[in-house]
Amino acid sequence: MPVIAVVGAQWGDEGKGKIVDLLAEKAHIVMRFSGGNNAGHTVINSYGEFKMHLIPAGVFHKGVTCVIGNGVVIDPAALLEEVEELRKRNVEVDKLFISDRAHLIMPYHFILDGLEEESRGSSAIGTTRRGIGPAYMDKVGRIGIRTGDLLDKGTFLERLRLVLDQKNRIITRVYNAKPLVLEEIYDKYCRYGELLAPFIRETDLMVEKALKNEEKVLLEGAQGTMLDIDFGTYPYVTSTTTMAGGACSGLGLSPLKIDGIAGVFKAYTTRVGGGPMPTELLDEIGELIREHAHERGATTGRPRRCGWFDAVVGSFSARVNGFSSFILTRLDILSILPAIKICTAYQIGGKKLSSPPSSVVELAKCEPIYEELPGWQTDIGDIRRFEDLPIEARTYVKRLEELLNCPVSVISVGERREQTIIVQELL
């Protein structure tokens, strides 16, 4: 039975939420493996519209187990709020489990994220200010606190005292800000621990069991490959492995067990936050796409930067992840345009590049080389078969298949679950 990873292939917000919600119908178990509540996965289905930040988008299917793996950082308040919101809207959350090894976002992470961003001035990363970076820093720095730690109050207090003392010194002496009070955090997090206890599990054992029982497993990525800590546009990235490989370390899953990796691409490009984006459109076309597609961050509400499809980024992303297929979302948005461009290479100082340079300074200097394809300018929202798409839309998709060097498996032609063309079944 297949284990399929669904990962973001651009700068996030590719529509992973809709895709996971759709594919989860056939899954037994859906697992999030990285990121935190910096993610904002929009899902529209019979229950209504939801912005998922931590809980896998498989939660809408009764009987599907949802796991938040050890690779995720958890803000307990955000998670409990999400659980509450789902329950209020009649979605059952009785099969949600979180790893005892997942690190917690603590109040000082939140504060430090803001203070660090402000200190960067004009080089700010444009983080979501959810404390993600500082939480992962502590994980790697071996001073993190994990969900499992909340289950033993004595050990938790001891660890918190040690860490908070260090954090308060940074907050007060480096940033001249107010120190945090140990007892307040301790009481608050003990309460979270009680509320989260029913969800906390050794989720690596659930992975093992699912594989043994030959269940259909869906691995849900967050963010996108260009935000990956190693292969993204460093330092304008998030603090995790957003790529398919992150599913292994983020869940306790052997790389040998992944049967397919589907990269999710939007039919154009968007980015929120700072950092270079070679195909960004600062003109009326960019504005048109932004307005027509309501391109605003699901987490922060910031307007997203919009541009043409970047196949230099795309083929790089396909290569470093090893996509077995790609999923194309929001193809319907391009229906408004008379002509559509694809960036097939970069030009820099007389040189032509087919792969993005590792340096953002270099990337910022890259000029996109475009090829132009005709648009179709007709509504495609009701089309359910690839062969029924206008010839121009099929040509666009076929060209992307060539450039990405892998086949398309799913095409989204609208925001609702059923507005989808399945070219190749994934699960």
Active site positions, annotated: 13, 41
CB burial class (10 A; 0-12, 13-18, 19+) of residue 204? middle
Q: Kindly tell me the burial class for residue 253, based on how many C-beta atoms sit within 10 Å of its own C-beta (0-12, 13-18, 19 or more).
A: buried
Of 233 and 335, CB closest to ligand IMO: 233
Give the strand pairing for 200-201 and 260-266: unpaired
The site for ligand IMO, by CB under 6 A, has a size of 23
Does residue number 278 form part of the binding site for ligand IMO (CB under 6 A)?
A: no
Stretch that binds Mg ion, among 32-40, 124-132, 272-280, 285-293 (CB under 5 A): 32-40
The C-alpha atoms of residue 246 and residue 241 are separated, in whole angstroms, by 5
Question: Minimum CB separation from ligand IMO for residue 17, in Å?
Answer: 8
Q: Which of 403, 344, 413 is nearest to 376 (CA)?
A: 413
Q: Which of residues 28-57 bind ligand IMO (CB under 6 A)?
A: 38-41
Determine which residue in the list 56, 71, 246, 273 makes contact with ligand IMO, applying CB under 6 A: 273
User: Pick from 244, 267, 281, 298: which binds Mg ion (CB under 5 A)?
Assistant: 298
Local structure of 198: helix, strand or coil? helix
- R_g of the chain computed on alpha carbons: 21
How far, in Å, CA of 218 to CA of 20, rounded?
8
Rounded to whole angstroms, how far apart are CA atoms 372 and 170? Answer: 52
Q: What is the DSSP string of 331-380?
A: GGGGGG-SEEEEEEEEEETTEEESS--S-HHHHHHPEEEEEEEE---S--
Residue 127: name its binding partner from ligand IMO, Mg ion, none (Cβ under 5 to 8 Å by kind).
ligand IMO
Instruction: Examine residue 30 and tell whether it contacts Mg ion (CB under 5 A).
Output: no
Least distance (Å) from ligand IMO to the CB of residue 115? 14
- Amino acid at site 94: D
CB 412 within 8 A of CB 418: no
3-state secondary structure of 129: coil
Chosen residue from 130, 146, 266, 305 binding ligand IMO by CB under 6 A:
130
52: three-class secondary structure by DSSP: strand
CB 33 within 8 A of CB 247: yes
> Is position 148 an interface residue for ligand IMO (rule: CB under 6 A)?
no
Min dist CB 12 to Mg ion, Å, is 6
Question: Toward ligand IMO, which CB reaches closer, 83 or 125?
Answer: 125
Which x/- pattern, by CB under 6 A, does the window 75-114 give for ligand IMO? ----------------------------------------
Shortest reach from residue 161's CB to ligand IMO, in Å: 27
User: In the set 3, 8, 11, 13, which binds Mg ion (CB under 5 A)?
Assistant: 13
Q: Which of 7, 8, 70, 426 binds ligand IMO (CB under 6 A)?
A: 8
| Tokens 């800590």 -> residue | 229
236-265: contacts with ligand IMO (CB under 6 A) = 238-239
Instruction: Tell me: does residue 15 bind ligand IMO (CB under 6 A).
Output: no
What lies within 8 Å, CB to CB, of 269 at 6+ separation is 10, 11, 277, 279, 280, 306, 307, 308, 309, 310, 313
Stretch that binds ligand IMO, among 11-19, 65-73, 201-209, 306-314 (CB under 6 A): 11-19
Interaction between residue 277 and ligand IMO (CB under 6 A): no
Residue 276 makes contact with ligand IMO by CB under 6 A: no
Identify the residue among 5, 6, 9, 12 touching ligand IMO (CB under 6 A).
Answer: 12
Amino acid identity at 321: N
38 binds, among ligand IMO, Mg ion, none (CB under 5 to 8 A by kind): ligand IMO
Which does residue 8 touch among ligand IMO, Mg ion, none (CB within 5 to 8 A, set by kind)? ligand IMO
The two three-digit tokens of residue 174, written as one number: 């480096």
**DSSP bridge pairs for 327:** 264, 410
Least separation in angstroms between CB 38 and Mg ion? 9
Select from 76, 133, 286, 356 the one that contacts ligand IMO (CB under 6 A): 133
Residue 275 Cβ vs ligand IMO, minimum distance, rounded to whole Å:
7
**Does 412 interact with ligand IMO (rule: CB under 6 A)?**
no
User: Long-range CB contacts (< 8 A, 24+ apart) of 420-426?
Assistant: 420/22, 420/384, 421/383, 421/384, 421/385, 421/386, 421/389, 423/386, 424/325, 426/2, 426/4, 426/23, 426/260, 426/262, 426/325
Chain contacts with Mg ion (rule: CB under 5 A): 13, 40, 298
Q: Which residues bind ligand IMO (CB under 6 A)?
A: 8, 11-13, 38-41, 125-128, 130, 132-133, 222-224, 227, 238-239, 272-273
